[in-house]
Amino acid sequence: MACWIRTAGTLLVLLGASTAGRAQTTPNWIVTGSDRMHYTVQGIGDPRDPQGARVTLRGVDPLPGQFGASGLVLDAVPYRGHRLTLTADLSTRDATQGAMIWLRVDGARPSEAFANSQLQPVFGTTAAAHREVRVDVPADGEKIFLGTGLIGAGEVSTTDLRLAGHMSPVAPLTPPRLLDAAIAIVRGHALRAAQVDWSTLVPKLHAMVPAKGPPAAAYPAIHALLGALGDHHSLMLPPTVTQRFDHGGFPTFPPKVEAMSGDLGYIAMPGFSGVQPAAQQAFARRVIDGITRVQPQARCGWVVDLRQDPGGNMRPMLAGLRPLLGDGVVGGFRRAGGQVYPVYAHPPSSADLPDGPALEHAHVAVLLGPHTASSGEVVAVAFRGRPDTRSFGQPTAGLSTANAGYRLPDGSELFVTTSVDVDRTGHAYGGRLLPDQAVPDDPAAKGDATLAAARQWLTGACGAPAQRVAGSPNL
């Protein structure tokens, strides 16, 4: 899965870690994020007051792919069982990568309620762009975290950041309410939402759920809702799995980095599940350390094997391959409206990772196959348009789209396909990636024909002048 919401989630975890448990009697605005040294915040006023708060957040020469945020922590106890609404008119200057507002409530578990305006970022130089987000405060809510966010350089300011929490208590969560929440998310954000006959679908879905009972009684209808999109990528995680994803992190198999004969390096990249920052960093560090160790024996180039990468969280995969991909934009995600959000190999949570050797000009052979899927395909796309790069094998699974995560009121999470993958040249995908050189998959054949073809190309290219290999179209 690849999405802005996880970037914002990292930001909020950092803020919670830096201020949790601190007494807060008057507003105390702080700056947080992945590159705090390059962001400043000036804030006065209280968002709970009618006139709101005045907050200005500036980013000056941040590192590529980094972000900053203004942050405030409030007591959630007075708002338990109520709905909070955070509003602001955002004014930006040179915010080329976007600005937003965000709101989170922590209780027994971190991030029990979370929302931001990341799907409506404010770009460039804009005056008074209104944004609004809402969350329901759980009965065990303890802390409220809120503020503005800025990706990259620029400035975002507001004179009226307001938090309202005096509305009617939240109604009990029933199956129809959970289904309605899911429908609203999908209709508002899914890449293929405009292709759905909602007037026919919604009554069918409501007929599938009882009026009363546990919220989970709505799950079959929600699965049917996602299936109606026809993108074959949107999915739902129940609360127990969502918690494991939020607080864990593990690869589908240990990544492998080793030297091969012919002065070549070999990297077998697995999928990665979870967003726990320490686990992501440990994974990426293992790959970077392996590349650093093998680099003296890889004079003629590298093989990046993605044939068994089923996807998951793209960030630790890209971070581990940063020595080969470099620090610039390696791709992006294009939404239905045409907006393209850039992707970097250097993620916001990787400030403590080693750089590794600078290999962005090394020859790289990328191995693809039908099990290369989802975020595995994002990694493959990151190599498209890279100089001295060629792909080998079979077409990928055809999930070269990006999912964004949206938390439902019962703690489950929807991962909705919101955009298609775009490579660094601007070519958009959305389906299967074709290798530059197709290699038949013959189970009866001896040896690894795809790896052999890649090694032959790298050996032949060893010492040759740099060439640019164009990306292949999708099916």
Helical (H) or strand (E) element with 325? helix 322-325
Q: How far is CA 96 from the centre of its chain?
A: 18
Residue type, 152: G
Count of alpha carbons within 13 angstroms of residue 426, beta-carbon side:
2
Instruction: Tell me the CA distances in angstroms from 465 to 109, 152, 383, 388, 468, one per residue in order.
Output: 55, 35, 19, 9, 10
Instruction: Tell me the CA distances in angstroms from 18 to 12, 21, 163, 208, one per residue in order.
Output: 10, 9, 22, 45
Helical (H) or strand (E) element with 454? helix 449-461
Q: Which fold has domain 4-164?
A: Jelly Rolls (2.60.120)
List, for residues 409-466, the tens digit of each pLDDT value. 888 889 999 999 999 999 999 999 999 999 998 777 788 999 999 999 999 998 654 4
pLDDT of residue 119: 67
Q: What is the mean pLDDT of residues 272-296?
A: 92
Residue 344 has pLDDT above 50, yes or no: yes
pLDDT higher for 474 or 409? 409
Phi, psi values for residue 410, rounded to 5°: -90, 5
For the chain, give the mean pLDDT.
86
Provide the pLDDT confidence category of residue 404 given band limits of 50, 70 and 90: confident
CATH classification of 249-460 is 3.90.600.10, yes or no? no
pLDDT higher for 321 or 11? 321
Q: How far is CA 224 from the centre of its chain?
A: 24
Lowest model confidence (mean pLDDT) among 53-57, 236-240, 375-379: 236-240
Residue type, 17: A
Q: How many CB atoms lie within 10 A of CB 81?
A: 12
List, for residues 173-186, the tens digit of each pLDDT value. 899 999 999 999 99
Strand partners, 126: 92
